[in-house]
Structure 1
Amino acid sequence: MTTTAPSTDQNDAGAPAEQPGILVRARAGVLEGGVGLSEAEVIEVLRLGDDQLEPLLQLAHEVRMRWCGPEVEVEGIISLKTGGCPEDCHFCSQSGQFSSPVRSAWLDVPSLVEAAKQTAKTGATEFCIVAAVRGPDERLMAQVAEGVKAIQAEVDIQVACSLGMLTQAQVDELAAIGVHRYNHNLETARSHFDQVVTTHTWEERRETLRMVAEAGMELCCGGILGMGETIEQRAEFAAQLAELNPDEVPMNFLNPRPGTPFGDLDVMEGKDALRAIAAFRLAMPRTILRFAGGRELTLGDLGARQGMLGGINAVIVGNYLTTLGRPAESDLDLLDELKMPIKALSATL
């Protein structure tokens, strides 16, 4: 982007107030031109002071409204296979390598269908089936296929899956049975990944994403902020996600789980989380940016409002995989109060 001199706004006393150059450039390049910020520019945004948080969030909201519109996509998630995962993702209480208290369990197909029905009643257009695995085996693939078929027969909702790393044959099978979106998070910046996971690589995750995109399924890929990454790595992560051109990016914030290697990390500061939300919006102006896990702990009710007015345009309603979320009614009431319509199913087809 071309560097522009700082603009001036009027402060409360009527005197001109100088705005940081990065916000001026972002207004011209992202808001007006639809071109996402570069990694270096995202760093500038993440380094803005607290006094610039309000104008930053306002700009991010304007970008969201211009390039995504006012509608909010609502999604529910359900765990088909919980706990006992062989991987060592340091944030996850479902790993079988840690002393965290999540026990292994499977959900049957009728329970999947009922969960999809309850999700659809909230106005959600998306229902994601999640399994705690490195990648699906034959048993899991068979149960997913049966579950997707049963949901499609009884519930008017889009079905997504998050089943770990896939083979090409598994990608093709999921696409064939009508899974319309696949979630596989990169979790963090490539340079920070080996501090978060050691049992598989960032490149292995990236390969699954490549196959999913080439198969024609929508790509959902995000991660977790607040896992000890630097500001520079946070910006690196935003740039690496933007390069994938994902349809959706879930914004998770670390909720430290007892018994995991990250169980003693501090919760991310709310203002830093809001800065990150806005920065990711400015890096990916056309992407669905979804409020996901940890937002309740990191941001609270006020922060949820600020996030929805700072670039977020999708939410997961209800509980997450192993932690409680906000009641679905709270999120739906907030959307109604903010006059943000829920995206209709027809708009996602």
Structure 2
Amino acid sequence: MSTAAQETQQTGTPEDREILAIAREQVLERGVPLTEDQILRVMKTSDDALTDLLALAHEVRMKWCGPEIEVEGIVSIKTGGCPEDCHFCSQSGQFTSPVRSVWLNIPELVKAAEQTAATGASEFCIVAAVRGPDERLMTQMREGVKAIKEAVDIEVAASLGMLSQEQVDDLVDMGIHRYNHNLEAAKSFFPNVVTTHSWEERWETCEMVRASGMELCCGCLVGMGETVEQRAELAGQLGELQPDEVPLNFLNPRPGTPFGDLPLMESTEALRTIAAFRLALPRTILRYAGGRELTLGDLGTRDGLLGGINAVIVGNYLTTLGRDPKEDLALLADLKMPIKALSSSL
């Protein structure tokens, strides 16, 4: 399509059209991420421009990441009883949320990995609700990862909270290829979300992981009452960190948590956020994570896959229900989006 034809078909305000034209030239054509100020302009575009914005984000994803979708399953090795006070999380031991402390044994971990691989996923992430791993958890991780690798052909990732350099090195030795540690929120908003540790502590763990050779998975949770300016700030900070993957979560208010009564994010705002994050992170794996089912529904989930998303978590999340994996896989097939093979991620 010619540039003239594109301009004729564009909708929205003159300001909308201007920032989309800038993003097309800068991000799509040259692969240069948007700046924080530009991200904010995208996040403030009108609903009338949303279709054009999503289409541009999809073009960026296809050009700089390719057509494949990475599929991942997650399991919690240790659920509940966390000493931290993340205000969105029902696993905190400080709230009245109905999540009790549970540990999985090695056979259960292996079974979960096998079930994840059976869905076609190439990635299996072991998660623990802890501030950081103690010796018991590190020992169980070593035994569990060894058993999984002997039983099933799947990449193993981990999310165990804040790490020391020694623990980073141990995870590398185990063969963990990707580590997840979310920033969760912009630096300016973080004290409203967590008080038991700092944003800087999270950043430090992320930097150690990135320097270790493991892939860094670092995402966020939007819809916690942050301003659109703080959402743009967060996207810019993730761009500075340069993670390999960004899981994008939408708040699913959990009873008994400080954020339990917050409203769901509007679906149009969620889609605009997806597209803006793609334009801020053109080469990064942008993964659908928790809350998308409530915030977006079936139609919005499809729109996001055509608006910059190139990875999904299938099945249930840590304490909330997800979509049936068969539904997600059927949607990917309907959209003719190939699932990333294990061999291509080695």
Same fold (TM over 0.5): yes
- Mapping 1:43-192, distance limit 5 Å: 43-192=40-189
1:10 aligns with 2:8: yes
Q: Secondary structure at the match of 1:257?
A: coil
C-alpha displacement of 1:157: 0.3
Query: Which residue of the other structure, out of 317, 337, 341, is the alignment partner of 2:314?
Result: 317
Determine the structure 2 residue equivalent to 1:307.
304
Please tell me whether the aligned partners of residues 6 and 20 of structure 1 are also in contact (alpha carbons under 8 angstroms): no
TM-superposition CA deviations, 1:144-180 (whole Å, max 9, x none): 1110000011110000000000001000000111000
Determine the structure 2 residue equivalent to 1:228.
225
CA 1:7–1:187 in structure 2 vs 1: closer, same or farther (change >3 Å)?
Answer: farther
Determine the structure 1 residue equivalent to 2:32.
35
- Mapping 1:334-345, distance limit 5 Å: 334-345=331-342
Q: Secondary structure at the match of 1:236?
A: helix
1:194 aligns with 2:185: no
Q: In the aligned structure 1, how far is the partner of 2:344 from the partner of 2:62?
A: 16
**Which residue identity lines up with residue 233 of structure 2 in the other structure?**
E
Query: Which residue of the other structure, out of 319, 332, 337, is the alignment partner of 2:329?
Result: 332
Please tell me whether the aligned partners of residues 12 and 49 of structure 2 are also in contact (alpha carbons under 8 angstroms): no
C-alpha displacement of 1:46: 0.4
User: What is the identity percentage for the equivalent residue pairs of Structure 1 and Structure 2?
Assistant: 70
1:294 aligns with 2:291: yes
1:214 aligns with 2:206: no
Please tell me whether the aligned partners of residues 92 and 260 of structure 1 are also in contact (alpha carbons under 8 angstroms): yes
CA 1:93–1:8 in structure 2 vs 1: closer, same or farther (change >3 Å)?
Answer: same
Q: In the aligned structure 1, how far is the partner of 2:202 from the partner of 2:257?
A: 21
Please tell me whether the aligned partners of residues 270 and 299 of structure 1 are also in contact (alpha carbons under 8 angstroms): yes
C-alpha displacement of 1:20: 1.3
C-alpha displacement of 1:306: 0.1
**Which residue identity lines up with residue 50 of structure 1 in the other structure?**
D
Q: In the aligned structure 1, how far is the partner of 2:221 from the partner of 2:162?
A: 18
TM-superposition CA deviations, 1:295-337 (whole Å, max 9, x none): 0000000000000000000000000000000000000000000
C-alpha displacement of 1:17: 9.4
Q: In the aligned structure 2, how far is the partner of 1:250 from the partner of 1:282?
A: 15
**Which residue identity lines up with residue 9 of structure 1 in the other structure?**
E
Q: In the aligned structure 1, how far is the partner of 2:13 from the partner of 2:280?
A: 25
Q: In the aligned structure 1, how far is the partner of 2:6 from the partner of 2:68?
A: 31
C-alpha displacement of 1:10: 2.8
Q: TM-score, normalised by structure 2?
A: 0.97
Query: Which residue of the other structure, out of 239, 242, 245, is the alignment partner of 1:245?
Result: 242
Q: Secondary structure at the match of 1:128?
A: strand
**Which residue identity lines up with residue 8 of structure 2 in the other structure?**
Q
1:272 aligns with 2:269: yes
Q: Secondary structure at the match of 1:333?
A: helix
Q: Secondary structure at the match of 1:76?
A: strand
**Which residue identity lines up with residue 208 of structure 2 in the other structure?**
M
Please tell me whether the aligned partners of residues 58 and 307 of structure 2 are also in contact (alpha carbons under 8 angstroms): yes
TM-superposition CA deviations, 1:245-272 (whole Å, max 9, x none): 1100000000000000000001000000
Determine the structure 2 residue equivalent to 1:284.
281
C-alpha displacement of 1:41: 0.2
Q: Secondary structure at the match of 1:191?
A: coil
Q: In the aligned structure 1, how far is the partner of 2:340 from the partner of 2:75?
A: 21
Please tell me whether the aligned partners of residues 318 and 328 of structure 1 are also in contact (alpha carbons under 8 angstroms): yes
The gaps in structure 2 that reach 5 residues or longer are: none
Q: Secondary structure at the match of 1:74?
A: strand
Q: TM-score, normalised by structure 1?
A: 0.96
C-alpha displacement of 1:9: 2.7
C-alpha displacement of 1:16: 12
Q: In the aligned structure 1, how far is the partner of 2:317 from the partner of 2:19?
A: 35
Paired residues, number:
343
CA 1:301–1:10 in structure 2 vs 1: closer, same or farther (change >3 Å)?
Answer: same
Q: In the aligned structure 2, how far is the partner of 1:240 from the partner of 1:291?
A: 19
Determine the structure 2 residue equivalent to 1:256.
253
Q: In the aligned structure 1, how far is the partner of 2:285 from the partner of 2:326?
A: 21
